[in-house]
Chains A and B, each alone.
Chain A
Amino acid sequence: MIVKVRFIALAADLTGRTEYIIDIDKPIPLSKLVNDIYDLFPRLKQFSNLLVILVNGEKHEPTYVVKEGDEVAFVPPSSGGV
């Protein structure tokens, strides 16, 4: 099952890439996927208190089950407007 992980703005600077494709054999909790990503990108993990995790553009509980086709994004706090 393919899950696309996106690194947006500051998160892209921390990983040096804008996306990462993960192939998982079965649906897994969001918390597990996030920890796997943090293991792969330790620099990102250092900013985990700051970062927001979105699934298909929305916040979800850590227990959310990630499924085929989901897009998980690591984003900084929004700073639109002025």
Chain B
Amino acid sequence: MLKAVIARDKIDVNNVIEEIMQNTFMKGSGALAVFIGYVKGVVDNNRVQELIYHVYEPYASRKLKQIIEEEKDDDVQSIVVYHRVGRLKPGEPTIYIFVSATSRKKAFDKAEKILERIKHEVPIFKLEKRSDGEYWVLGNGKRIKRSTLKPESH
């Protein structure tokens, strides 16, 4: 079971878990790793008001699907990823990764690898709105204050 979706809304985690377990227990799976990322409320002692995920489509969806296709192997029976985009508030989920595998180590390792690949390869970009201004978040956690990026006149 492979699924990669870029979504605006929250998902029902219990439904996904149930579906994965029912689809994979007869295929050798006995371990399901679930990772959920959610919006921080405080960054560098500043209150976060909102995180806006910009997405470059259709290439983001294409890359997400490519990653899970490349990461499937004989010991992994299921990979399901939902990446949310749009305006998200602190405490809201941003990404869900579900990996079922024949062993817990495989499930944990694969979930971690998929997360790292998504962070670096899928063209999704975060704008952090917080009490001290708006910041573009770059891949390495570095931030650039938006008000410093004035366009030239044309």
Contacts and interface: CB of A to CB of B under 8 A. Distances in A.
A54 B149 CA distance: 21
Contacts of A63: none
A43 B123 contact: no
Interface string A51-82: 00010111000000000000001011111111
Nearest to A75: B123
B123 A14 contact: no
Q: Give the size range of B's interface with the partner.
A: 35 or more
Given A73-B56, A79-B119, A80-B122, A10 B38 contact: no
A41 B153 CA distance: 9
Contact of A80 (B83, B146, B149, B150): B83
Given A16-B151, A81-B115, A9 B59 contact: no
Contacts of A78: 119-125, 139
Nearest to A73: B56
B123 A10 contact: no
A15 interface: yes
B56 A75 contact: yes
Interface in B38-66: 38, 53-54, 56, 58-60, 62-63
A8 interface: yes
B14 interface: no
A13 interface: yes
- Which 9 A-B residue pairs are closest in the complex by CB-CB distance? A57-B59, A82-B37, A16-B151, A80-B124, A77-B139, A9-B125, A81-B119, A13-B149, A10-B136
Interface of A: 6, 8-10, 13-17, 41-43, 50, 54, 56-58, 73, 75-82
14 contacts: A9-B54, A9-B136, A13-B136, A16-B151, A16-B153, A17-B151, A54-B123, A75-B56, A78-B120, A78-B122, A79-B124, A80-B118, A80-B119, A82-B38
Interface of B: 37-38, 53-54, 56, 58-60, 62-63, 83, 94-95, 115, 118-127, 136-140, 144, 146, 149-154
Given A15-B151, A81-B94, 10 more contacts: A13-B146, A16-B154, A50-B138, A76-B136, A77-B140, A78-B124, A78-B139, A80-B124, A81-B37, A81-B83
